[in-house]
Amino acid sequence: MKIAYLSAYIGKEFTEKYCKGKQFALSGPFKTRGIARALMSAGHEVTIFSPGLTVANQVIRPFMEVEEYPEGKLSIKYGKCISYRRCSPINEWLTSRALRKEAKNYDVFLYYNITLGAALTICAFKKKIKVIEYEDNIFNKALVGDKNSMEGYKRRLYNYLMERTDGVMAVCLGLQLKDTLKYSVLTPGIVNEEVINNVTSRINKLEEGKPVHIILTGGIHYSKGGDLLVKAMNYIKTPCVVSVYGNCNLDDTLEELIKQVPERHEFYFNGYMKHAELIKTLDREADILINTTRSMGVGAQAAGFPFKMMEYASTGRPIVSSEIGKLDEDYNRHITYYNQEDAEAIAVAVEDVIAHYDERVALALDLQKKVLSEYTIESTGKKLNMFLKEIKNGK
């Protein structure tokens, strides 16, 4: 089938031309690329329609680029992009306008998350298969104080799209929308060759007299629970080095919290790193990988599933995670979770892993085998192909 995929994907040519030296989140494009390649591995033709991004500080004319992968050629079409802050709604409208003109050429409309662009586009695919890739719950209370902006607008947007959508690719169990949509498939993450080729199955050991190295990827923003991790270090007795990769813009509150951390611990804020090199770093340096992402007021199984959790699992290192990193029973039994957004609970979980480190490594290596076999591009492609066939037969 021919699939039109609406997602804010940034391709290699776009990045090279317009994003040099710019900082922006990579998890969305990585997930989109994985889904596109999985669909291509199952024989489908995929074209991504992207509104671009808003950090280039210029107006970008419409263009198309093509990326080549072992599964085939991936086309990315960009509408006119006004790449300035706060212009995302305009760019979504411009991309939607371009995509609506081409709707007749496609069998499937796949859209990433609940967005204005999806709502403006979906009616052009009235008689086609329509699928949401639900990555982030639109009702997440990710702001300080568990607040959610424009909730009424989001509810109307959500209802409008759900009434016109056939199925969901859900990142976690609670986003499968089983009470709303008839068809669903679980797509929590995809590991590609950048991951597979840069991890090992070595048995990691803690060295006596050497600090435990804890790594957090994805940055230290409030939603990522960076403040909780800093506070937790006050309760962890074992000397640790904490390295953070991603958005490391520290506000005044975090700066003050870090000053209060005991001298036995060290913090390093490293910013963004190329993906393959980041995976190598996790494999080479991490003793413990941590996910302190907040559950955002919607519960463990409905907030989402951080992209980094599948990459963490691929390394064979023990993982400490908040409840937002939970998936299914078979996945969860390999990980050490804490259930409250509480610094002392995080500290208890970390110390428990340190105290039983060899056992946790054995579990982590078992999880690594599972992830590197079940969550590859090819295995995900087979799942998605069955999912689309089920919708097609049902319609």
- pLDDT-derived band at 137 (thresholds 50, 70, 90) equals confident
- pLDDT-derived band at 84 (thresholds 50, 70, 90) equals very high
Residue 341: CB partners within 8 Å, gap ≥ 6?
A: 225, 228, 294, 295, 322
Predicted pLDDT of residue 253: 86
pTM score, two decimals? Answer: 0.90
Mean pLDDT of 334-340: 93
DSSP bridge pairs for 83:
58
Mean pLDDT of 178-195: 94
Mean pLDDT of 378-386: 97
Indicate whether 335 pLDDT > 90: yes
- pLDDT-derived band at 386 (thresholds 50, 70, 90) equals very high
List the structure tokens of 212.
Answer: 């435990």
- CA angle centred on 137, ends 135 and 138, rounded to 5°: 120
Indicate whether 201 pLDDT > 80: yes
Predicted pLDDT of residue 249: 83
Tell me the domains of the chain and their CATH numbers.
2-190+376-394 (3.40.50.2000), 193-374 (3.40.50.2000)
Sign of CA dihedral 340, 345, 350, 352: negative
Mean pLDDT (the chain, rounded):
93
What tens digit of pLDDT does each residue of 3-31 get? 999 999 999 999 999 987 666 666 678 89
- pLDDT-derived band at 383 (thresholds 50, 70, 90) equals very high
Indicate whether 181 pLDDT > 90: yes
